[in-house]
Structure formats: structure tokens, C-alpha cells
Amino acid sequence: MLDYAALRAVSLVVQTGSFEKAALALNVTPSAISQRVKQLEERLGVVLILRGNPCTATEKGEWVCRHMEHVGMLETELFGQLPALIAPGEPGQRVTLHIATNADSLGTWFLKAVSSFATERDYLLNIAVDDQDHTAEWLQRGRVLAAVTSLDKPVQGCRVTPLGSLRYLATASQPFMTRHFAGGVTEARLSQAPALTFNQKDRLQHVWASKVFGAPVVHPTHWLPSTQSFVDAALLGMGWGMNPDLLVRDHLASGALVELVAGTPLDIPLFWQVNRLASDRLKPLTQAVVDAARGVLVQ
């Protein structure tokens, strides 16, 4: 039989990052939380929480957290129909849903989708950010219930819905173009001009160069893990970067930014994948994501 008091303790330690905060949320002592977690770990024979600042879940601990999200959604439905089940004075436990998306979607269209869901439903959201080629791993490891990903094949146990493509343009300021590409954009000049790279997982510049020149081009780069800062850095002449069309179209229209090579967009298909066990209860979220995406992404 499942010990839900212990499972809830694990979930809240991971969610809040500490035993003390979890204890406050459950109105018990930190030692009580520690005892519940320790007994559950001993019973299962696995470590569920990596003690630290903050505390984080192991892979097995993540599965416990996702199970408690499912339970929380079921309880929310049940309490809505039978409010008398809630004990007087018992603190209400709002469910936090864990989802993942890529940074450029979050910086362009995704927030509009999830905000409309969050304002209409009594759920909290924990949004993880990773490269679109890697968010599917969060689903595979049980770290999230749903994700925006570039993977078109369903992750095991998930349902997939196509959203459209996020269009990127290789852009730079006019002074930058004059300084580095006065004679035109060539492989040799591109290999010397500093680019902007989000992080080590970011391959958009190489994919674009392969599309234009037939092979990736090794180039110097600034590392800049921020969607908006990518645009700002391009405007300031710091480097060239692959910026979402949604963020730079006005700058292109004004001439503040220009395409490195005109007419060479890079479209990255995106898909919404959601855990099958939660898919029915997350239909409103899925609909909000699909509506927002199809309103702005390339179809």
C-alpha cells in the first residue's frame, strides 16, 4: 500500500528545494518530513532526494513527483465534486504541473498559451527550459508531464501534436555587416565573424550554414544564454545570430537588422508531447498551446 504522506513529503521537498520549506507547506516539523522521506527510501531501497541547496530529485524521485502530480489532479477533480472531503482547517494543496519548452518558444509564443491556462485553472506551473532537441529527454526521464519538442515521434507513453515551425533568420546589424561582410557573406568571412551561441546544445548556426553553404562553418562565438539578449546583442553589433522571426521582423523592417543572406530562413518544426495518463486532464492546456502556436508559427 502506498504511503501518500511520505510520497507527498518527497514531492514537496523537491518542489520547494528544502525539507524546511516542505515542512512549512505541510504544517509539520522538518524532522517529520525527514523521517518520512528516510523511511520511504529505506523501504524502496533507493535514494529519492539528493540533499543539497537546493534539494533535487534523483531519477526515481522524479517518478514519485510525477505520480503525485497525477494524484493531485485526480484529487482536484474529486474535491470539486465532493468538497466535504476536505477536512476543516486542512491547508489546500494546489497542484504544480511540470512542463518543458525551449527558450525561444518561451520568449515568443509559449507564455501566452500557458498564462491563459493558468488564469482559468487552479494549477501552478513549473516551466523547465532546454533546447528543443533535448526537451523530449525530460519526458523520457519522467521529469515533466508535457513538453514542446522537435521530436515528431511520440516519446514512450506520450501523445504528440504538431504545432508548426518556429522560423529563424540569420541576422546582424548593418555596422556589423559592413565590418565583416563588406564583400558579401562567404564561408571564409563567416569563419572569422563572431556569432552568438545560446549554449553548447545550440546548433542552429551550424544548421543554417550547412543549408546555405553545404557544410557547417567553424566560427568564433559569444556565449549568450538569453533569447532577448540575442536580439539585443545583434542590434548592438556584437555578433550575428539565429533570431526568431517573431522577435526581429520589426527590426528588419526598420533596417536596424538585416539578414546575412536574404531569403534563407531556417524553420524548426515543433511538437507538443504530453503524458498519456495526464492527457485527458490536460486537454485545456493542450488546446491553449495548440491555439497559441498555430496562430503564430509557420504552418
Q: What is the CATH number of the domain that holds 217?
A: 3.40.190.10
**Residue 89 included in any domain:** no
Dihedral of alpha carbons 274, 10, 130, 200, sign = negative
- The residue range of the domain holding 224 is 166-267
Q: What is the per-residue pLDDT for 89?
A: 60
Q: What tens-digit pLDDT sequence spans the chain (299 residues)?
A: 789 999 999 999 999 999 999 999 888 999 999 999 999 999 999 999 999 999 999 999 999 998 998 888 888 778 778 877 777 666 567 888 999 999 999 999 999 999 989 998 888 999 999 999 999 999 998 889 999 999 999 999 999 999 999 999 999 999 999 999 999 999 999 999 999 999 999 999 999 999 999 998 999 999 999 999 999 999 999 999 999 999 999 999 999 999 999 999 999 999 999 999 899 989 999 999 999 999 999 99
**Residue 221 included in any domain:** yes
**Residue 216 included in any domain:** yes
**Residue 181 included in any domain:** yes
* CA angle centred on 15, ends 130 and 129, rounded to 5°: 10
Amino acid identity of 282? L
Q: What is the per-residue pLDDT for 270?
A: 98
**Residue 290 included in any domain:** no
CA 22 to chain centre: 24
**Residue 111 included in any domain:** no
**Residue 177 included in any domain:** yes
Q: What are phi and psi of 200, to 5 degrees?
A: -65, -20
Q: How many domains does the chain have?
A: 1
**Residue 87 included in any domain:** no
